[in-house]
Homo-oligomer: A and B are copies of this chain.
Amino acid sequence: MSSVQTPAPKPSRLEIIGLSDMPFVNPGDDLTGIILDALKLNNLELVNGDIVVIAQKIISKAEGRCFSLNDVVPSPEAIELAEEVDKDPRLVELILSETRFIARKRPGLIIVESKTGLVHANAGIDQSNIEQSDTEPQALLLPVDADRSAETIRLEIKKLIQVDAGVIINDSMGRAWRRGTVGHTIGCSGVIAVSNQIGDLDLNGRVLQGTEVALADEIAAAASFVMGQADEGRPVAIVRGASHMIGGSDGFKSLLREDNTDLFKDW
């Protein structure tokens, strides 16, 4: 027997299960309770090492981040920009309230670096999948601090059912140069979001150069595939087989490039 322990192989099987029949979420709802109830309904038992991926929309709804545009008074800056990009000035006011820098704009679209550091269209503000009427239009803003939202749910799960699970909050985002949205992590707790494998050896014993893998974004993308975008109504997915990424985390900010290493922040 060797005295050197062989490291356990990483799991080769990943399973993503979208919870069905979730109820509508309203401001102030107990999201952890709703998720635990949905797990029971879906005959699923959460186990240590699972990752619970939650769509940003239901986090935002539960946290009361839905605003009626009729209650928004646009600033002169918002009115001017709204005209330029052909959007509702009240919506533009909400976008600007979330924005650190405007990265790009064109009719129908404002891409911003938001105050959280995310670079995304319309500061992630959405008008789909929330109750709407022509006279009372609504807009849903991102959570104020999605890492904290994730942490709260992770700790409640731990307290209520004594399971160590990671929590990721994901949102569909467009990308530079590539078409279509992909799920990205906008908040997380209890997961290693970026694996820093610098120093690991490749198959030929050569040191891997600069390989950092955005594990949490790969999981967010996989979960997004199962959640769907339109009328599927599956805003929570359980990811099984990724327990090696459970651990302390700096939150989603570890997924953001620092400004001095970013070659594409030209604003």
- A132–B208 CA distance with the chains assembled, in angstroms: 12
Given contacts A13-B15, A219-B225, contact A201 B230 (CB under 8 A): yes
- A11–B226 CA distance with the chains assembled, in angstroms: 7
- A9–B128 CA distance with the chains assembled, in angstroms: 20
A73 at the interface (CB under 8 A from B): no
Most buried by B among A14, A24, A104, A129: A14
12 residue pairs from A and B, CB less than 8 Å apart: A13-B15, A15-B16, A119-B177, A128-B211, A131-B204, A172-B211, A175-B175, A182-B218, A195-B229, A201-B231, A218-B221, A266-B266
Q: Please give, as numbers and ranges, the residues of chain B lying within 8 Å of A16 by CB-CB distance.
A: 13-16, 222
Do the beta carbons of B177 and A257 come within 8 Å of each other? yes
Do the beta carbons of A181 and B15 come within 8 Å of each other? no
Please give me the residue from chain B that is nearest to A24 by CB atom.
B203
Do the beta carbons of B14 and A225 come within 8 Å of each other? yes
Do the beta carbons of B211 and A181 come within 8 Å of each other? yes
Q: Can you list the 8 inter-chain pairs with the closest CB atoms, starting with the nearest?
A: A180-B214, A222-B222, A221-B221, A12-B18, A176-B264, A200-B230, A218-B225, A104-B263
Do the beta carbons of A181 and B129 come within 8 Å of each other? no
Expressed in whole angstroms, the minimum distance between the Cβ of A67 and any Cβ of chain B is 16
Cβ-neighbour of A213 out of B172, B215, B233 (below 8 A): B172
Q: Please give, as numbers and ranges, the residues of chain B lying within 8 Å of A201 by CB-CB distance.
A: 230-231
Q: Please give, as numbers and ranges, the residues of chain B lying within 8 Å of A184 by CB-CB distance.
A: 178
Q: Mark A1-24, 1 if CB is under 8 A from B, else 0.
A: 000000001111111111110001
A159 at the interface (CB under 8 A from B): no
Do the beta carbons of B13 and A14 come within 8 Å of each other? no
> Residues of A within 8 Å of B, CB-based: how many?
79
A228 at the interface (CB under 8 A from B): yes
Do the beta carbons of A262 and B177 come within 8 Å of each other? yes
Given contacts A14-B222, A218-B221, contact A206 B132 (CB under 8 A): yes
Expressed in whole angstroms, the minimum distance between the Cβ of A108 and any Cβ of chain B is 8
Do the beta carbons of B214 and A182 come within 8 Å of each other? yes
Beta-carbon contacts under 8 Å, A231-262 to B: 231-234, 241-242, 254-257, 262
A69 at the interface (CB under 8 A from B): no
A35 at the interface (CB under 8 A from B): no
Given contacts A229-B197, A230-B202, A263-B104, contact A217 B10 (CB under 8 A): no
Q: Please give, as numbers and ranges, the residues of chain B lying within 8 Å of A176 by CB-CB distance.
A: 119, 175-177, 262-264
Q: Please give, as numbers and ranges, the residues of chain B lying within 8 Å of A18 by CB-CB distance.
A: 12-13
